[in-house]
Structure 1
Amino acid sequence: MTLSVREIDTPQGPARVHVERPARGASLRGSLVLSHGAGGGVQAGDLVALRALVDDGWTYVRVEQPWRVAGRRVATPPRTLDAAWVPVLAALCRGRWALPWPLVVGGRSAGARVACRTATGVGADAVLALSFPLVPPSGGPSRDHEARLVLDAGLPLAVVQGLRDPFGTPDDVRRALGEAAAVYAVRGDHSLGRHPEDVLVAADQWLSTLTQ
């Protein structure tokens, strides 16, 4: 495994990417590019646990949004997150940094929303959503339409959701998205921090279906 960290310029300021690649000579399965939530960073337990996928042939990239790199505590508006994410993916998919395909994009919470909204624009082959914030705990409209953008484009979508997630349980997500989405129920709430190994097992199981 090799780890490299670099910054990529975006219209919202520099983003930081943590790129981990399988050892030289390993059989490559594809690339997984994930971003963090609206109040956390790339050291979230579930995002860290997924580093183990590198040993299974996946190139794994954790993306720090510009607001996080700048030291802010709370995310900027959704449109600015999308505006930063798209050029980051473009930079990762060309030149000497080009990632191996298939390209799976995603993230946790707000990062999952960004990936769903931009999946077709960045040329993704599939989307992995961790703790998708289906409905705000304080009330408000469902965000299922963002996840449906992925399904309507014919792309595989997996949602890994905590059994006690106040933003929507796995059953809530299943009812909202139907059978087209692969929904994995894991222990925990929205943070998924106490049992990140469950997230790894679910992600590995789903990713295996993409490369069979």
Structure 2
Amino acid sequence: MIGTADELEVPTPHGPARVVLAVPAAVAGLLVLGHGAGGGIEAPDLLAAVGAAPGDVAVARVLQPYRVAGRRAPAPAAQLDEAWAAVLAELTRRFPGVPQVHGGRSSGARVACRGAVAADPAPAGVLALAFPLLAPARKDGTRADRSPEIDAVDAARIPVLAVSGDRDPFGVPPVAAHREVVVLRGDHSLRAKGPIRDAVGPWLAALFAR
């Protein structure tokens, strides 16, 4: 996409979030992306999604407050969700009436899924990059199932595109009624920018064209 870039600091209940915002001359849509647990907004798959956005779609990459504060250990889920909601409210104020797609990678995908059902306005779709279907193993070897988070979006009839690596140790979401799944060669890091753009670009274009 071509446009101006800006960096915003958005107050949230848990400290400021940082938003890197690329805005085309005429805005017909908004793509909002969150990062993984210990990473940032420069992750290869997030940058590939930015590159896949249609030319008339603004893109906001959101750095959670704990990362702005310099911490790598993620905040509790409730805090992530509240900060995400605060950012969405500010972006909705800036882009009133513009259709939105929410998404992110790994932890950011989970946040986007949890927030999609409650968001006002509801997003036109959710982009789930490397959604971690299973949590890391506990000491007893069991792994928490995170499928209810992404299944709730399907139940709300919000379209989802899930893009995962075929060697992702955290699993791959299954296809569902309102969910497309693309499996690429790779692991949880999803570094193949070209294939990601090829998967995400047509989906975004079709979604924003509706």
Provide TM-score, normalisation by structure 2.
Answer: 0.89
Mapping 1:166-177, distance limit 5 Å: 166-169=169-172, 173-174=173-174, 177=175
CA RMSD of aligned residues (A): 1.6
Is 30-39 or 179-188 further displaced after alignment?
179-188
Provide TM-score, normalisation by structure 1.
Answer: 0.89
Verify the 8 A CA contact 1:59 1:99 in the aligned structure 2: no
> 2:114 — aligned with what?
117
Inter-CA distance 151–55: structure 2 relative to 1 (3 Å threshold): closer
Identical aligned pairs, as a percentage? 45
Mapping 1:1-212, distance limit 5 Å: 1-22=3-24, 24=25, 26=26, 28-54=27-53, 56-94=55-93, 97-98=94-95, 101-122=98-119, 123=121, 124-138=123-137, 139-169=142-172, 173-174=173-174, 177-193=175-191, 195-210=192-207, 211-212=209-210
Moved over 3 A (4+): none
Inter-CA distance 99–70: structure 2 relative to 1 (3 Å threshold): farther
Aligned residues: 201
Partner SS state of residue 93, structure 1: helix
Inter-CA distance 72–98: structure 2 relative to 1 (3 Å threshold): same
Deviation string, structure 1 residues 109-167 (Cα, Å, up to 9, x no partner):
00111111111322222111000000124241321100011111111111011111111
Inter-CA distance 55–115: structure 2 relative to 1 (3 Å threshold): closer
Inter-CA distance 142–165: structure 2 relative to 1 (3 Å threshold): same
Partner SS state of residue 41, structure 1: coil
> Could you tell me which amino acid in structure 2 is paired with residue 129 of structure 1?
A
Structure with the higher helix share, 1 or 2: 1
Verify the 8 A CA contact 2:54 2:201 in the aligned structure 1: no
Q: CA deviation at 1:56?
A: 2.4
Structure 2: 5+ residue stretches without partners: none
